Structure 1
Amino acid sequence: MKHLKAIVLVAAIALAGGGLWVWWQHERIHPSTDDAYLKANVLTIAPQVGGRVSEVAVAENAHVSAGDLLFTIDAAELEATVRSAQANLDRARQQTTAAITDLSAASANVDSARAALSEAQDAYGRTEKLFTMGDVPQAARDQAAMTRDQAQAAFDSANAALAASREQAGAPGDDNPAVRAAEAQLTLAQINLNHARVTAPVSGWIANLDVRPGALVSPNAPLFSLVEDGDWWIDANFKETDLERLRPGQPVNIDIDMYPGVTLTGTLQSLGAGAGAVFSLLPPQNASGNWVKVTQRFPVRIAIDTRPDDPDLQLRVGASTTVTVDTSGLDTRK
């Protein structure tokens, strides 16, 4: 009887030891953590122009598609700005046309002054010869010289007026700097007017909606969030002792706490370059006499390959999950 008890005890110890060994081997080949959370891209929705909200077209937790209207801002002032910019553009074009007309007139004046100067110079030359021969008096020579000098002054003045007209006219048509500046102001005013209608940049769910019709909003001031329904992933924090067997591309099983019995599949994408504590706001300082070694955890990103079959089982950002990585492929390659 005593021998039987001893045999049973040894068998129980051996069975427990074998069970522990099998469990340890499974945990080594299939590292797991419940320090894992569901993530998605969360966009902050903010208006690009300020004003009073005239309409809110969405509700909290509602699903929207890319391009759907979220809210609108009263556009009366923005429309007035567009009209003012259009008037400035029309005025700039009119001024450019008038400047070009003045330029043509100034150019004609230069041609006329050049012809008058040439004629006065020729007349002075003839009078100078006649004066040398004694055929005309000194007064005639002086009169011809004065006429020539006056023609030269008129020509110089016409050239100066032409240069001023060219500077004022600038480039012709829409290449004129003043016209380009007015066009840019009009374009900016039209862009701001378009921004009075705020639409969804991507499809997803509305979250933290805190805006009502009549509220005054400022440019670039966050109003609510949009949880994108495209890419989903898991940010899992594994113990540093598990990292030895983790490799990108390994398959992962994902259990979501809010949906018991639902298991999704995923793929290990990347391993973090540093422990989570390193990037915290206040990193721990271990230079103390009471230091205790703590196993560090490193972030691992896992892409979700499948979605729940039931459309009512919506994925939600921040949900707690448990992930298990299958690292058996490492042993197979060996």
Structure 2
Amino acid sequence: MSETQTTPPEVTEERRRPARKRILLLSIIAAVAVLIGAVGVPFYLHAISHESTDDAFLEAHITNISPRVPGHISAVHVEDNQQVKEGDVLAELDSRDYEVALDVAQAKLESAKAAVSEVKAVASAARNILQEKKANFESELAGLEQVRAEVAEMKAGHERDSNDLDRMRQIVQAGAVSRQEYDHARAQEAMARAKLNSSEQLVQTQAAKIAEAKAAVFTAEDELHQAQAQMNARAAQLQEAEAQVEQAKLDLSYTRIVAPCSGYITKKSVEQGAYIQAGQNLFSIVSPELWVVANYKETQITHIRPGQQVEISVDTYPDVTFTGHVDSIQRGTGSRFSLLPPENAAGNFIKVVQRIPVKIVFDDNKTLQQYVLAPGMSVIPSVDISRQPGAVAGNTGNSSVVSLRP
């Protein structure tokens, strides 16, 4: 009978322990690999399909409010961080000086109107006188023509009587005519000569009257020209007075400082009773419409295009992701438009990766109103470069908030 050799239970258990450890280790490695794959692959895919940067900030239109006229502040109607609407009265200046200036300008305007009316009357009278002088001149010209016609007639009569007298002088000696007829012819010729002389004197007199009438026309024309020049000068003064009235009205209206746009009051630097100068900054109004300026490295701009979708994280709200899209890319690096651009041609050159500002707008600014967002706040935009410009994620809708993390 042979003996059967058996292994003690303690030895069997010791042999099984390394195998169990290897199986457990392999299981842990497999679980870790699966976990890394489940987390790392989406992260890797997201990283290669998105471009992000932490050099990004919120921006908004900031309007500096300053008065157009100097004066003392009589009332301030707003406080720091107060929301205002376009047209709201922010502050008022003491308007009494400007009301007096308006009264003075209106008085000057009335005086200018009276002066214009007066010079118009003078010009109208000068025009009437000129018309009278011209009519008199035309009448004198007509009289001259009439006198000249009479002179021609008298000259013809004198020549006829003179010829008759010459013939009678030749035949009176022959006794063909009586002495009485000869004397009558001589008297007739003398009378015709006297009438001719009288007519010629009338021509000279009429010519003198015409010269006088012509001079009177010239004088009347000069007076009319002077009156018209005065009227033009008064009309210019009237326009100046009207402009002064309008300016005084504008200056008076400028004593009410109103909001040119809607937004929030910031940097309030004025109080009631203070004296301010025109152009002095009193407030700033921050527009509620925000956008993002992201300074991407030039190596990140390769696939960024206007219209691509963007996920935006704001440091103030780490659990909220906003949506937007690329609006535009600045044609120039940030350093190129700095106050002192680098002069690379003068001295040693060290290559530095440049940054290019990219403007990103939110899809819906109204959604942002429920959050406290302001220019200068840090954000992290992530541009989806895998999508073509204009493609929109199916879950974004019209809201700028794409997700809220618990």
**Structural mapping, 1:174-189, within 5 Å:** 176-189=235-248
Per-residue deviation, 1:320: 0.8
Counterpart check, 1:245 vs 2:303: yes
Structure 1 residue 222: deviation in Å?
A: 2.2
Cα contact 1:255–1:322 (8 A) shared by 2: yes
Alpha-carbon distance in structure 2 between the residues aligned to 1:146 and 1:31: 104
Task: In structure 1, give the amino acid aligned to 2:227.
Answer: S
How far off its partner does 1:152 sit?
Answer: 3.2
CA shift digits 1:249-294 (9 cap, x unpaired): 1111111111231221111112222222222222345568875543
Instruction: Give yes or no for the alignment of 1:168 onto 2:230.
Output: yes
**Do residues 325 (structure 1) and 383 (structure 2) align?**
yes
C-alpha deviations, 1:103-139, integer Å up to 9, x for none?
A: 2211222233234444555566639839974236699
Match of 1:198 in 2: 257
Mind listing any 5+ residue stretches in structure 1 that lack a counterpart?
A: none
Residue 242 of structure 2 aligns with an amino acid whose one-letter code is E
Partner of 1:272: 330
Given that 1:264 and 1:306 are in contact with CA atoms closer than 8 Å, whether structure 2 keeps it comes out as no
Q: CA deviation at 1:44?
A: 0.9
* C-alpha separation in 2, matches of 1:151 and 1:222: 71
| Structure 1 counterpart SS, 2:326 | strand
Deviation at 1:206, TM superposition (A): 0.6
Q: Deviations over 1:188-210 (max 9, x none)?
A: 22122111111001110011110
Q: Work out the CA distance in 1 between the residues paired with 2:72 and 2:347.
A: 59
**2:236 matched to 1:216?**
no
Matches of 1:13 and 1:260 in 2, distance apart?
Answer: 28
What is aligned with 2:119? 99
Residue ranges of structure 2 left out of the alignment (5+ in a row): 1-17, 156-192, 392-406
**Correspondence for 1:159:** 221
Question: Percent identity over the alignment?
Answer: 34
Q: How does 1:23-62 map to 2 (within 5 A)?
A: 23-62=43-82
Q: Does 196-205 or 126-135 show the bigger shift? A: 126-135
Length-normalised TM-score, structure 1 = 0.82
Output the CA distance in 1 between the equivalents of 2:217 and 2:349: 95
Counterpart residue identity of residue 90, structure 1: E
Looking at structure 2, the residues matched to 223 and 43 of structure 1 have their Cα atoms a distance apart, in angstroms, of 11
Residue 185 of structure 1 aligns to a residue whose secondary structure is helix
Cα displacement string for residues 49-96 of structure 1 (whole angstroms, at most 9, x for unaligned residues): 122222111111111011000111222222222222222222222222
8 Å Cα contact 1:264/1:307 also seen in 2: no
Q: Which amino acid aligns with 2:310?
A: V
* Most deviating of 145-154 and 269-278: 145-154
Larger relative helix fraction: 2
**Is the 2:147–2:199 contact (alpha carbons within 8 Å) kept by the matching residues of 1?**
no
TM-score normalized by the length of structure 2? 0.69
* Equivalent residue runs for 1:138-157 within 5 Å: 141=202, 146-157=208-219
Cα RMSD over matched residues? 3.7
Change (3 A) 1:116 1:287: closer
1: distance between equivalents of 2:303 and 2:80? 43
Aligned partners of 1:166, 1:177: CA distance in 2, in Å? 12
Contact persistence 2:329–2:356 (CA under 8 A): yes
Change (3 A) 1:217 1:321: same
Decide which moves more: 39-48 or 279-288: 279-288
Q: Distance in 1 between matches of 2:376 and 2:258?
A: 25
Of structures 1 and 2, the larger Rg is shown by 2
For residues 150-190 of structure 1, give each alpha carbon's deviation from its aligned partner in whole angstroms, at most 9, with x where no partner exists: 33332321222122222322499xxx443333222222221
